[in-house]
């Protein structure tokens, strides 16, 4: 009984995110002209999964009390790279996928190296590296174009057994391969610990530098998985500045909706995934209610503003005003 209550307290934020998503998705499908069919679910999943990957990347960094404003640009860069490399025979395609993921890892490692070993602030560092990544993306694709191995793309964006969207299965697989080992390792625990109190973690002899470096590096990897999937959905590569900025912004919104604390040390990737899916569904609600798409940016901005303002409720519990200054 007690065990169960602890588990519930720990997972409250994730469960809330799941609840918001469920509610929004029910409203969405109930008002969708086609209703709750495999096709509607597949389209929604494919759109949501892209943001979910980027939000996962953001979560890893946010847990260490950092922030990565270059995730959107890594996403765009790997999209452009994939539109050159993920082509041809199965063997060539495999090497292409590995190269794209490696590029993502390298981008993340660059961020991590500068932030941790260069001791610069994460915000400025990732804004600057974001500019570099976007510049490289523009070099790769000055104009939208390129192509991708369509067999692989169709396989990964279609449905498994005609029912389950493959992209969701891929998302679950990435969670199992990247997130679960990370949290169970010493580094995962050190990442959480350094997010909630870096001094305490340092005093306890935790490997905080390596943990943070790993968090930034894996964030790059996850963003590149997102970029790979973007290529599978669109069949092309495009260096779109607006799209990169939007994904960075939405990843923060998803992380906040998913109950990950921006001050670090709290939350999980699972919550962020549901936050991402919920955010996408909220954005799409406008379409099923037949509102002008011009209102979508404003609507998403207001959702983000409200979501971040919810974090302020903790202030009402503060007894001593000095706690404001943490």
Partner 1 sequence: MSDVTSERAPRQMPNFMRRLDPAVTTAFACIILLLAFGSFYSTSFLSPEYLLQQLKVASFLGVIATGMMIVILLGQIDLSVPWSVAVGGMMACAAAAFGPTGEAFAIPFGIACGMAIGVVNGFGVAYLRIPSMIITLATNAVAQGLMVVYTGGFSPQDSATAAMRYLATGDLLPGIPNAVIIWAIVGAAAVFALTRTTFGRSVYGIGNRERAAYLSGVNTRRIVLVAFIVSGGLSALGGVLLAGYASKAAQSMGDAYLLPSIAAVVLGGTSILGGRGRYLGTVAGVILITLLQSILAVMQMPEAGRQITYGIVILLMLLLYGRAPASR
Q: Which residues bind partner 1 (CB under 8 A)?
A: 67, 69, 114, 118-121, 123-125, 127-132, 134-139, 142, 198-199, 202, 241, 249, 252-253, 256, 262-263, 294-302, 304-305, 308-309, 311-312, 315, 321-322, 324-325
Nearest residue to 60 (alpha-carbon basis) of 185, 239, 246: 185
CB of 126 to partner 1, least distance (A): 10
Q: In Å, what is the CA distance from 217 to each residue of 97, 113, 257, 326?
A: 17, 9, 24, 28
Return the number of the residue (47 or 198) whose C-beta is nearest partner 1. 198
CB of 45 to partner 1, least distance (A): 25
CB of 135 to partner 1, least distance (A): 3
Residue at token pair 């790059």:
220
Return the number of the residue (225 or 253) whose C-beta is nearest partner 1. 253
CB of 167 to partner 1, least distance (A): 26
Dist. CA 20–CA 161, nearest whole Å? 28
CB of 181 to partner 1, least distance (A): 28
Return the number of the residue (167 or 217) whose C-beta is nearest partner 1. 217
Return the number of the residue (49 or 252) whose C-beta is nearest partner 1. 252
Residue 281 near residue 48, CB atoms below 8 Å: yes
Residue 173 CB-density burial (10 A; 0-12 exposed, 13-18 middle, 19+ buried): exposed
Lookup: tokens for 306? 């409200």
Neighbours of 39 (CB within 10 A): 11
Give the pairing of strands 159-160 and 164-165: antiparallel
Beta-bridged to residue 164, according to DSSP, are 160
Dist. CA 272–CA 141, nearest whole Å? 31
CB of 187 to partner 1, least distance (A): 19
Return the number of the residue (319 or 321) whose C-beta is nearest partner 1. 321
Return the number of the residue (6 or 324) whose C-beta is nearest partner 1. 324
Residue at token pair 């669109």:
234
Q: What stretches of 1-37 show up as alpha helix (H) in DSSP?
A: 2-31
Return the number of the residue (159 or 209) whose C-beta is nearest partner 1. 209
Residue 76 near residue 240, CB atoms below 8 Å: yes
CB of 118 to partner 1, least distance (A): 5
């Amino acid at each position: 009984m007690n065990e169960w209550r602890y588990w519930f307290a720990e997972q409250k934020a994730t469960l809330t995110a799941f609840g918001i998503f469920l509610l929004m998705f029910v409203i969405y499908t109930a008002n969708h002209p086609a209703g709750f069919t495999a096709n509607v679910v597949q389209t929604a999943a494919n759109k949501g999964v892209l943001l979910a990957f980027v939000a996962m990347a953001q979560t890893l960094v946010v847990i260490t009390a950092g922030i990565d404003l270059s995730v959107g640009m890594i996403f765009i860069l790997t999209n452009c790279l994939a539109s050159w490399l993920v082509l041809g025979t199965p063997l060539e395609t495999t090497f292409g996928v590995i190269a794209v993921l490696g590029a993502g890892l390298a981008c993340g490692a660059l961020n991590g190296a500068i932030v941790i070993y260069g001791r610069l602030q994460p915000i400025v560092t990732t804004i600057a590296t974001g500019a570099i990544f976007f510049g490289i993306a523009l070099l790769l694709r000055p104009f939208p174009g390129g192509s991708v191995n369509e067999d692989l793309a169709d396989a990964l964006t279609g449905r498994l057994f005609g029912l389950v969207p493959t992209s969701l299965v891929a998302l679950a697989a990435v969670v199992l391969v990247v997130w679960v080992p990370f949290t169970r390792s010493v580094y995962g625990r050190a990442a959480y610990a350094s997010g909630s109190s870096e001094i305490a973690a340092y005093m306890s002899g935790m490997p905080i530098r390596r943990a943070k470096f790993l968090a930034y590096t894996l964030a790059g990897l996850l963003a590149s998985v997102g970029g790979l999937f973007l290529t599978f959905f669109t069949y092309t590569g495009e260096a779109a500045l607006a799209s990169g900025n939007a994904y960075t912004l939405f990843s923060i919104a998803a992380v906040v909706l998913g109950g990950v604390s921006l001050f670090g040390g709290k939350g999980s990737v699972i919550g962020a995934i549901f936050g991402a899916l919920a955010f996408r569904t909220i954005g799409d609600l406008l379409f099923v209610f037949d509102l002008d798409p011009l209102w979508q940016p404003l609507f998403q901005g207001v959702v983000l503003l409200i979501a971040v303002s919810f974090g302020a409720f903790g202030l009402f519990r503060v007894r001593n005003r000095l706690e404001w200054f943490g």
